[in-house]
Each structure stands twice: as structure tokens, then as C-alpha cells.
């Protein structure tokens, strides 16, 4: 399963839900979709530092926030804040033992460019 992060118009949730239902009918796990109305809002939430954390966490596997901060060579407090926001967005989850991990094989970020009339 992958995470798809995109800039999409309001109301696109119906289109996404239909695609997820179709995938489920075919026996596939539906992809996780996270939509933002503007590229500015997407990149204010998904900063380069947070994308790097996702990449680092995927490489090291399930671990504590402290271990992730050490692996990413970042301040614990900042990593703790970023992990909290990534959890709220649904991009990081916790195990029963409180280790954090990325539950997706890949994360795709889709930003459509403006159309020329």
C-alpha cells in the first residue's frame, strides 16, 4: 500500500473513495490519500525536514522518537514535534510497544501545474 499526497479541489474525496472501493473489490489494499487545497498548504505541512524523517524512519524501521532523532541527526524536540504532526496526518503510526513506523511502501506527492488557457 502507498500513501498518495496531492493537491486536489474540494469534492475530490468522492473520486478518491470510488477508487478505494474499486481497489478493495479487486482484493487490493486501498491506497491512503491525503489531499490539500493548495500546494502552499501541502508544503507547509509536509516540509523537507518531515519528508526526510519519513525517509529515515523507513530506512531504520520501527523505533523510538529518540532513536529516530539520533538516526536523522536532529534535535529530539523538533523531531518529536514533527512526528506528532506526521501521526496526525496519518503518515506515521505506532506499534503496541510505542515504536513509530511508516506503514506505506512508498509516498507519492502529486502537485498539478496550472493549465495554460
The residues facing 24 across adjacent strands are: none
Q: What is the pLDDT of residue 24?
A: 57
The upper half-sphere exposure of residue 90, i.e. CA atoms within 13 Å in the direction of its Cβ, equals 10
Q: Which one, of 115, 111, 86, 113, lies nearest residue 35 by Cα?
A: 111
Q: Give the fold, CATH level 3, of 2-110.
A: Arc Repressor Mutant, subunit A (1.10.10)
Count other Cβ atoms within 10 Å, centred on residue 59: 10
pTM above 0.85, yes or no: no
**Which DSSP string corresponds to 89-109?**
HTS-EE-TTS-EE---SEEEE
Per-residue pLDDT tens over the stretch 39-89: 999 999 999 999 999 999 999 999 999 999 999 999 999 999 999 999 999
Question: How sure is the predictor about 113, in pLDDT bands with cuts at 50, 70 and 90?
Answer: confident
Percent helix, strand, coil in the chain, to 5, is: 45, 20, 35
Mean pLDDT of the residues in the chain: 86
- Please tell me the predicted confidence (pLDDT) of residue 74: 97
Amino acid at each position: 500500500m502507498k500513501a498518495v499526497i496531492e493537491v486536489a479541489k474540494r469534492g475530490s474525496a468522492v473520486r478518491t473513495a470510488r477508487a478505494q472501493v474499486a481497489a478493495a473489490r479487486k482484493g487490493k489494499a486501498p491506497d491512503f490519500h491525503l489531499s490539500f487545497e493548495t500546494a502552499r498548504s501541502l508544503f507547509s505541512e509536509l516540509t523537507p525536514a518531515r519528508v526526510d524523517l519519513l525517509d529515515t524512519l523507513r530506512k531504520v524501521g520501527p523505533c523510538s522518537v529518540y532513536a529516530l532523532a539520533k538516526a536523522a541527526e536532529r534535535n529530539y524536540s523538533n523531531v518529536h514535534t514533527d512526528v506528532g504532526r506526521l501521526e496526525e496526518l496519518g503518515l506515521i503510526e505506532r506499534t503496541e510497544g510505542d515504536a513509530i513506523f511508516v506503514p506505506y511502501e512508498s509516498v507519492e506527492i502529486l502537485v498539478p501545474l496550472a493549465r495554460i488557457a
